[in-house]
């Protein structure tokens, strides 16, 4: 019986992962900022949650490969259609210097 429960749990997890991957590929995301500062990431994450802006932190697990040297910054992505709103939240929080500086 236990193996059936584990099988069901794995199936549910697999379904959740497949749905998450599908969703991430169906929503246009654009880079808001890059940083290795985990405190800054937490602050921006809180701002986006409060605003109801969908976000994704890319390369979050790369520190395992790089050995936490800080050479691969984490990319903070937001929904493309809410990019300007996300930028406004960072500016209001005094974090405008953290925004991407590539004209996007």
pLDDT digits (tens, 9 = 90+) for 74-96: 899 999 999 999 999 999 999 99
Which helix (H) or strand (E) segment holds residue 16: the answer is: helix 2-26
> Could you tell me which residues are beta bridge partners of residue 29?
79
Distance in angstroms (rounded) separating the CA atoms of residues 48 and 51: 5
Q: Is residue 94 part of a domain?
A: yes
Tell me how many helices (H) and strands (E) the chain has.
4, 3
Provide the number of structural domains found in the chain: 1
- % the chain with pLDDT above 70: 68
pLDDT of residue 100: 81
**Is 2 contained in some domain?**
no
CATH number at residue 51: 3.30.70.790
Q: Which domain holds residue 87?
A: 27-98
Asked whether residue 16 is assigned to any structural domain, the reply reads no
């Amino acid at each position: 019986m236990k193996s059936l429960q584990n099988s069901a749990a794995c199936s549910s997890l697999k379904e959740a992962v497949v749905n998450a991957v599908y969703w991430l590929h169906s929503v246009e995301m654009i880079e808001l900022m890059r940083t290795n500062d985990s405190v800054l990431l937490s602050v921006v994450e809180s701002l986006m949650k409060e605003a109801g802006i969908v976000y994704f932190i890319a390369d979050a697990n790369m520190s395992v490969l790089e050995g936490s040297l800080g050479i691969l910054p984490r990319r903070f992505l937001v929904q493309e259609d809410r990019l300007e709103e996300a930028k406004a939240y960072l500016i209001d929080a005094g974090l405008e210097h953290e925004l991407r500086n590539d004209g996007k």
